[in-house]
Amino acid sequence: MIDDAIRVLAGDCTVIAEGTDRSEYRGRVTTIVKPDNTVLVHDIDGYQPVAWLTRADSVSSDRTDDFTLVAKKDTQTLRIAAHDQDGFANYPASAAGTPVGTCPDGDCTGSLVRSKGVRCVDCGTRYGVPADATIKDDQSHCECGLPRMRVERGLAFDVCLDRNCESLDEAVREAFDREWDCPESGCDGDLRILRRGGLIAGCEHYPECDTGFAMPGGVVDGECACGLPTFETRGGSRCLDATCERHQRRQVGAASGH
């Protein structure tokens, strides 16, 4: 399976772009229509297209006579008419990314690449990967054949790319579930590790208490004056509660020597 196809039209064409202004071109060009309906018309001169329309609302074509392609977006229209067609074809395409391994599917030998997660360029299988995860390149693989990744969520976890094979959520939950008290005044609840879009530490008494904090990408390195843990992240040390003023004041005081 492929993500989609890219359409390509090449030949001697008239290109008309209409919007606030009108422009017309004639020459041997190559037109590319991407899966998101972005249309690019290239000639041999310069580094940018002769004409383009980004993410058109519609792209239609007519091959009954001379080939024509019409793309429209709001008040903009891009028309390409081929007088002498060199070729028209659909080519399979997928998102390109950094190679991280080989697809473990027994019927597929495609490359795994990192691009908004990890996916196979041949069969299209996808694996969700946190944006801050590091795919390990030391040839260590899970038993399922996939590469492993390092993710920091309070601790540095070494888990499989496939969460169905080895769950990052379960690893974080085992390490930190009920580890911290809910800081809400008058609440006697513990913070549970939950997934609400991303991983959060949320009060067990939800919805009566809606206190919750996103788990930062970093490792626990101490305790804030508010009682919650602090995390060493790429941006520096911070409280689990990103809005905690006591941690901010403590940081300022430490920097000034007070």
Which CATH number characterizes residue 19's domain?
Answer: 2.70.180.20
Residue 130 pLDDT greater than 60, yes or no: yes
| Same-domain check for residues 191 and 205 | yes
0.85 exceeded by pTM: no
Q: What is the pLDDT of residue 141?
A: 83
Q: What is the pLDDT of residue 133?
A: 92
Instruction: Count the domains in the chain.
Output: 4
Residue 249 pLDDT greater than 60, yes or no: no
Is 56 a domain residue?
Answer: yes
| Same-domain check for residues 204 and 123 | no
Residue 26 pLDDT greater than 60, yes or no: yes
> DSSP assignment of the chain, as one string?
--SEEEEEEEEEEEEEEESSSEEEEEEEEEEEE-TT--EEEE-SSSSS-SEEETT-SEEEEE-SSS-EEEEEETTEEEEEEEEEEEEEEEEEE----EEEEE---TT--PEEEESSSEEETTT--EE---TT-EE--SS-B-TTSPBEEEEESBSEEEEES-TTTS-HHHHHHHHHTT-SB--STT--PBEEEEEESEEEEEETTTTT---EEEPPSEEEEEE-TTSSEEEEETTEEEESSTT-HHHHHHHHHHHHT-
Percent with pLDDT over 90 in the chain: 62
Is 119 a domain residue?
Answer: yes
Question: What mean pLDDT comes out for the span 157-163?
Answer: 92
| Same-domain check for residues 29 and 39 | yes
| Same-domain check for residues 9 and 88 | yes
Q: Which two tokens stand for residue 58?
A: 């519609």
Contact 131, 125 (CB under 8 A): no
The burial class, CB within 10 Å (0-12 / 13-18 / 19+), for 226 is middle
Q: Quick: pLDDT tens for 200-228.
A: 999 999 999 999 999 999 999 999 999 99
| Same-domain check for residues 202 and 225 | no
Q: What is the pLDDT of residue 138?
A: 62
| Same-domain check for residues 60 and 136 | no
Q: What is the pLDDT of residue 248?
A: 53
Question: What mean pLDDT comes out for the span 72-79?
Answer: 96
| Same-domain check for residues 86 and 135 | no
| Same-domain check for residues 111 and 159 | yes
Q: What is the pLDDT of residue 252?
A: 40
Is 127 a domain residue?
Answer: yes
Lowest mean pLDDT among 10-14, 73-77, 107-111, 173-177: 107-111
| Same-domain check for residues 43 and 107 | no
Q: Which two tokens stand for residue 34?
A: 């991407």
Question: What mean pLDDT comes out for the span 153-165?
Answer: 93
Domain that holds residue 232: 217-258
Contact 55, 74 (CB under 8 A): no
| Same-domain check for residues 8 and 85 | yes
Residue 67 pLDDT greater than 90, yes or no: no
Residue 139 pLDDT greater than 80, yes or no: no
Is 45 a domain residue?
Answer: yes
CA 107 to chain centre: 27
Is 172 a domain residue?
Answer: no
Contact 228, 244 (CB under 8 A): yes
| Same-domain check for residues 181 and 123 | no
What is the Cα–Cα distance from 228 to 222, expressed in whole angstroms?
9
Confidence of residue 21 (pLDDT cuts 50, 70, 90): very high
Average pLDDT value over all residues in the chain:
88
Instruction: Provide the 10 A C-beta neighbour count for residue 224.
Output: 21
Q: What is the pLDDT of residue 257?
A: 45
Q: What is the pLDDT of residue 136?
A: 80
Residue 253 pLDDT greater than 80, yes or no: no
Question: In the listed set 38, 63, 93, which residue is the last one of a domain according to the structure?
Answer: 93
Residue 254 pLDDT greater than 90, yes or no: no
256 or 70: which leads in pLDDT: 70
Residue 43 pLDDT greater than 90, yes or no: yes
Lowest mean pLDDT among 58-72, 140-154, 182-196: 58-72
Is 161 a domain residue?
Answer: yes
Question: In the listed set 38, 61, 93, which residue is the last one of a domain according to the structure?
Answer: 93
Q: What is the pLDDT of residue 258?
A: 41
| Same-domain check for residues 128 and 201 | no
- Return phi, psi of residue 255, to 5°: -70, -30
